[in-house]
A and B are shown apart, each in its own frame.
Chain A
């Protein structure tokens, strides 16, 4: 009868689904799981970076696990966790499904958003997977690891987090103060966890250093007109604008800054304006903007591996990476994993974690060592720590590194409509 047929159909839909989650036979390759927002810049660039590393390692024979050589393999699943309307539960479902279906041995580069990362820590620990994060930036990650070390010890972060980022960035502001005598700032950030914390840290530090902070504003997503904030900058004679956002509004803001001829330096964390091809796309209108990025996305002469990475990436993908952070550490993570596996001689999660902790490597972003909180410290000397560099777009379309001094290749130029040493 029809109803029975119906019941069979519905029932078989469920049963067949459960078969999909049965474990597949253990495969030869070592699987690296990638569950992040693959449709977004940092997401797909980290994926390419991991592929690049995997290709290089496999070409040399693979990873020595105990007595056999095994290749790496990346399994990438789009968690879409950076999309505005997506419930975190969706991202977590995708994550769990990947773990159950593809049986990864480690997770690189981790989720895109801090929200999803934090929510997923229990799942990662349950499956004892080393988790090497290179995109999400919230310092809460470190707090949670320290709070419950035994449970969360599988988590590591290689890119800078908001705290280190702020420190690196503030160093550049100090330099601006020393060179030009500027001491007034206006902070504008997008409404996101990481941006707000950077804004807060920046404001506090600036005030401690004696700067005048003429405003700290959060702008809503999708805002297409920043004239009010920019006019405020102009009317208060602010000299430095700190803009923190990874969203496309950055472009609108930069554009308006330029066309309204606001006499202030535009600096900050501006991922949409960091790629090599940005000058062309925006037809030179990014001239004068200072942004902070990782080595690897820009070749830093003082760190040879970053140059090598940059060239290799460009060859593979066709153009250099365009995010402000992520691909360099993702590339490094694969090598770190390889070295940890070879030292441990096994793929066991707990043993791997012990070896990863001992990492001391010269990577794309500088020297990589993990602190007690499983975060790589960032600073100003590539021989001691990892590095975040500031560069400025200058004619005829070059990215000139202006900070830190150890790796700088040029000096900051003021925008043409701004006279030197104002106030």
Chain B
């Protein structure tokens, strides 16, 4: 029982880490970054290259990788999305195309096989309530919690954070206050991608770096966002908890195989009952101003 709770929490933290970048970007700038999964893989790959090809120490490589991925995200906005801002179709296709293209690039240069492994932060394990948990997973839990706390403080206490929330609430009013929407969107994309890289560096050491993981992360981000409500941190956390625990419970009592059906059922239920997500603030079509 204790094992289930601990691993359920860790699972949820993993999901939160992976998906919060996407929600952040979408909540602030309204841009659904379909390249989120690709940036996840990019973060891991850049770190790996830095460590193995250039020989930089791990913490430094991790930091550089996060910054580089963040810059990539901002570049995505500046070069591509800037020109098609506001046209949903074009935005979606542009980010989608970049995401797919980027992942295929990784696949083509041969990112497969077991030499592609990221080192863990800390080896070994700890006994918690009669169950052994390895440090890396505990770190995931820690990083996840810290990230959430950081975001909350950021958006409620700092000037930039408040500006973000302003834009999210009402773009025109924010503009009239001098909060530039393009700059904000660019920063939000950069941040979202940086968080994706952070998630990759924290979670991927558990297994090997794989390109398909990018696709999975994107689907997860969408699923969690749909269920929890895209723009609200609380929604993401709750949705992650639901999915995380559901997976563990199903795996413990039934077969790990069934965990996917939980995802689908939850999504469909939420869509029918409260389409904008549990904590979603976006109003339905009719109420849109």
Contacting pair B256 A261 (CB below 8 A): no
Contacting pair A248 B257 (CB below 8 A): no
A398 at the interface (CB under 8 A from B): no
> Which of A118-126, A152-160, A201-209, A220-228 lies at the interface?
A220-228
From B132, B247, B257, contact of A259 by CB (8 A): B132
Contacting pair B216 A39 (CB below 8 A): no
Contacting pair B4 A224 (CB below 8 A): no
Contacting pair A220 B3 (CB below 8 A): no
From A40, A226, A273, A283, contact of B112 by CB (8 A): A40
Known: A228-B7, A272-B208. A39 touches B124 (CB 8 A): no
Known: A229-B251, A231-B3. A261 touches B207 (CB 8 A): no
Task: Collect the chain A residues with CB atoms within 8 Å of residue B132's CB.
Answer: 259-261
A6 at the interface (CB under 8 A from B): no
How far, in whole Å, are A21 and B6 apart by their CA atoms in the complex?
A: 60
From A39, A224, A232, A272, contact of B114 by CB (8 A): A272
Contacting pair B133 A281 (CB below 8 A): no
How far, in whole Å, are A98 and B124 apart by their CA atoms in the complex?
A: 50
Task: Collect the chain A residues with CB atoms within 8 Å of residue B11's CB.
Answer: 225
Distance (Å) between the CB of A260 and the closest chain B CB? 4
B178 at the interface (CB under 8 A from A): no
Task: Collect the chain B residues with CB atoms within 8 Å of residue A228's CB.
Answer: 4, 7, 248, 251-252, 256
Known: A219-B257, A232-B252. A281 touches B131 (CB 8 A): no
Query: Among residues 252 to 307 in chain A, which have CB atoms less than 8 Å away from a CB atom of chain B?
Result: 252, 255-256, 259-261, 272-273, 275, 277-278, 281-283
Query: Among residues 230 to 279 in chain B, which have CB atoms less than 8 Å away from a CB atom of chain A?
Result: 247-248, 251-252, 255-257, 259-260
A360 at the interface (CB under 8 A from B): no
Count of chain B residues with a beta carbon within 8 Å of a chain A beta carbon:
37
Distance (Å) between the CB of B251 and the closest chain A CB? 4
Known: A224-B206, A281-B115, A281-B117. A256 touches B257 (CB 8 A): no
How far, in whole Å, are A272 and B123 apart by their CA atoms in the complex?
A: 20
Contacting pair B125 A259 (CB below 8 A): yes
Contacting pair B207 A224 (CB below 8 A): yes
A84 at the interface (CB under 8 A from B): yes
A251 nearest in chain B by CB position: B207
A215 nearest in chain B by CB position: B255
Number of A-B contacts (CB under 8 A): 96
Contacting pair A248 B252 (CB below 8 A): no
Contacting pair B256 A219 (CB below 8 A): yes
Task: Collect the chain B residues with CB atoms within 8 Å of residue A220's CB.
Answer: 256-257, 259-260
B55 at the interface (CB under 8 A from A): no
Task: Collect the chain A residues with CB atoms within 8 Å of residue B113's CB.
Answer: 40-41, 322
From A39, A231, A277, contact of B110 by CB (8 A): A39
Contacting pair A231 B252 (CB below 8 A): yes
Q: Which 4 A-B pairs have the closest CB atoms?
A: A259-B134, A228-B251, A259-B125, A248-B208
Chain A interface residues toward B at CB < 8 A: 39-41, 83-84, 191, 217-229, 231-232, 248-249, 251-252, 255-256, 259-261, 272-273, 275, 277-278, 281-283, 322
Chain B interface residues toward A at CB < 8 A: 3-4, 7, 10-11, 14, 107, 110, 112-115, 117, 123-125, 131-134, 203, 206-208, 210, 212-213, 216, 247-248, 251-252, 255-257, 259-260
**What are 21 A-B contacts with C-beta separation under 8 Å?**
A39-B107, A39-B110, A39-B112, A40-B112, A217-B257, A222-B216, A223-B259, A224-B203, A224-B206, A225-B247, A227-B248, A231-B252, A248-B114, A248-B210, A251-B117, A251-B207, A255-B206, A259-B125, A259-B132, A272-B208, A281-B114
